[in-house]
Structure 1
Amino acid sequence: MKTTLLIMAAGIGSRFGGGIKQLEPVDDKGHIIMDYSVHDAIEAGFNKVIFIIRRDIEEEFKEVIGDRIAAVCADNGVTVDYAFQDIRDIPGELPKDRTKPWGTGQAVLAAKDLITTPFIVINADDYYGKEGFQAVHDYLVKGGKSCMAGFVLKNTLSDNGGVTRGICKMDADNNLTEVVETKNIVKTADGAEADGVKLDIDSLVSMNMWGLTPEFLNVLEKGFVAFFEKEVPANPLKAEYLIPIFIGQLLEKGQMAVKVLKTNDTWYGMTYREDVEAVRESFRKMLAEGVYTEELFGDLEDK
């Protein structure tokens, strides 16, 4: 069965501490987090990759990342395509002085005409681990419609400051009922807390790793029209169309069911400049333990 990996990379160019975080090497071979995500997706069985980028970074993106990954994909029977997120691609007029992108919902819609299979959507600069890709792929190929990889909160925290996480509430069958956005979650000596409130570090959280179908895109598109009618007039410069919030609204209305698939892998991201060395050390450890081979994609070609 054909399945697609959708990578939201239009935010490349967001700087932290003097560097572009999506392009920070995480191993001695110069691989970036995105390389590992593509590897894990191909290993899990995804056979198409779509990068969502901006037109103004197309040439540089292909030079630094895209052409290299396209070559690897070709060796493994995986196709690569590009979608372009444009702030002007909207169901209405662009508000005066608006420069902020419209968010993950619009990013995914940029790829609507290219998506013909069930798909997984991820952030370009997040490392998710192998388990989530496999779980989402297996769920989709068995006919599942909508799912989300649920990461254990303690496996997603930073040693260098507070983070925002969507804490999941579920029913007895692991169907998602609500995502509670919780800001400023910090590690403590005995767990984690947010603004002085102790949190269950074994809670599952959303890290924007969704398994969806082409049919969902029609719903997402209608929601974008409604967003422009209701949300944009109230906050024209900063309103964002975000997938977790939109799915939360559908859940509240009983218009969608989302299965939460637990993954025990550790999520890595570079929220802070100080996170970089810790992330690199984590990849060194995974290479030493044989989770990955030194020639990252070499193990795929043997299969």
Structure 2
Amino acid sequence: MKPTLLILAAGMASRYGSMKQVDGFGPNGETIIDYSIHDAIKAGFGKISFIIREEFLDSFKSIFEPKLKGKVETDYVFQNFDLKPFGIDEEIERAKPWGTAHAVLSARNQVHEPFCVINADDYYGYDAFEKMAKFLTTEVADDKYSLVGYQIDKTLSDYGSVSRGVCKVNDQGNMVEINERTEVYFKDGDVFYKDANGETQLPTDTRVSMNFWGFTPAVFEQSLPMFQKFVQENKDNPKAEFFIPLVADELIKSGIAEFKVIPTSSKWFGVTYKEDKPIVQDSIAKLVESGTYPTKLWD
């Protein structure tokens, strides 16, 4: 059974100032998602599932269906505010849904095979998809998941601090814990993060999560009670988000599942700030020039 690629594309793109998921970066207006899908198909994924807000359905279909017809199966998962499908019988006022792990849970009735999760607005590189496809077809189990670990210095923006899930990895290559650092940045060529305790330097080869995770459908059952508990504890906190690293951390600490950190040498790039756009366009232009991608991606 071929694995599925689940793309987190329901975000509001608040920092970017427009719907960056469908902005054009390639020589013919290709989106960042186009390159991820192209790499996923090449690596052997059999289905692409977009997690979106329902009102974006027509927009996504008009952009992606003509390109992908006959190449790969597509599916659409809606993330919204309705908590009843998750066994929570109350309405909670919020400006946006409950975060990335809630988005993944929204796919539980539509994904029945091993799958990986990525962000819509990040470029991951073919190496990462190839390694993840191999893991999902040969190693994954209900108690053995994975994430792709990027080198922290290959993931930062020159235009401001970013959030990164910093991984602690043991000698077996498994994640021991993941800590969300909300302010990570370059300073004089070195990498630092800032928190309540001040500024801390990180080694440049520290592995970080860029939200590229591999699971079996068992994760839906495993994370549902966590989500129910999270909602109860955070119903008065409209900004609280149920993130995938929270689920991973709990699964590791409770001994339910281990997470293999798959190292990649790929340089990650993405669009956090408007100023990142020309850098992403230039990075893609170089990949096209080197022959990594054709000029017209879908011809």
TM-score above 0.5: yes
Counterpart for residue 227 of structure 1:
230
Instruction: Compute the displacement of 1:27 (Å).
Output: 1.5
Kept after mapping to 1: 8 A contact 2:167/2:178: yes
Where structure 1 has 5 or more consecutive residues not aligned to the other structure, the ranges are: 299-303
Kept after mapping to 1: 8 A contact 2:152/2:204: yes
Counterpart for residue 68 of structure 2:
70
Q: 1:26 to 1:154 in 2, by over 3 A?
A: same
Find the aligned partners of 1:232 and 1:188 in 2 and give their Cα distance. 35
Counterpart for residue 215 of structure 1:
218
Q: 1:178 to 1:262 in 2, by over 3 A?
A: same
Find the aligned partners of 1:81 and 1:17 in 2 and give their Cα distance. 26
Q: 1:148 to 1:17 in 2, by over 3 A?
A: closer
**Paired AA for residue 116 in structure 1:** H
**Residue identity (%):** 38
Counterpart for residue 301 of structure 1:
none
Kept after mapping to 2: 8 A contact 1:91/1:228: no
Counterpart for residue 278 of structure 1:
279
Give the stretch that moved more between structures: 245-254 or 31-40.
245-254
Kept after mapping to 1: 8 A contact 2:82/2:91: no
Kept after mapping to 2: 8 A contact 1:95/1:237: no
Matched, 1:55 2:54: yes
Find the aligned partners of 1:100 and 1:16 in 2 and give their Cα distance. 14
Find the aligned partners of 2:15 and 2:136 in 1 and give their Cα distance. 35
Q: 1:266 to 1:236 in 2, by over 3 A?
A: same
Give the stretch that moved more between structures: 278-287 or 94-103.
94-103
Instruction: Compute the displacement of 1:94 (Å).
Output: 4.5
Counterpart for residue 242 of structure 2:
241
Instruction: Compute the displacement of 1:20 (Å).
Output: 2.0
The match for 1:202 among 197, 201, 205 is 205
Matched, 1:291 2:292: yes
Find the aligned partners of 1:242 and 1:170 in 2 and give their Cα distance. 20
Kept after mapping to 1: 8 A contact 2:101/2:243: yes
1:49-198 matches, within 5 Å, as 49-63=48-62, 65-71=63-69, 74=70, 76=71, 78-89=72-83, 90-145=86-141, 146-195=145-194, 196-198=199-201
Where structure 2 has 5 or more consecutive residues not aligned to the other structure, the ranges are: none
Matched residues, number: 290
Kept after mapping to 2: 8 A contact 1:160/1:275: yes
Instruction: Compute the displacement of 1:93 (Å).
Output: 4.2
Instruction: Compute the displacement of 1:258 (Å).
Output: 0.6
Counterpart for residue 2 of structure 2:
2
**Paired AA for residue 234 in structure 2:** V
Q: 1:232 to 1:16 in 2, by over 3 A?
A: closer
**Paired AA for residue 6 in structure 1:** L
Instruction: Compute the displacement of 1:17 (Å).
Output: 5.1
Report the aligned-residue RMSD: 1.6
**Paired AA for residue 104 in structure 2:** V
Instruction: Compute the displacement of 1:100 (Å).
Output: 2.3
Length-normalised TM-score, structure 1: 0.91
Instruction: Compute the displacement of 1:53 (Å).
Output: 0.9
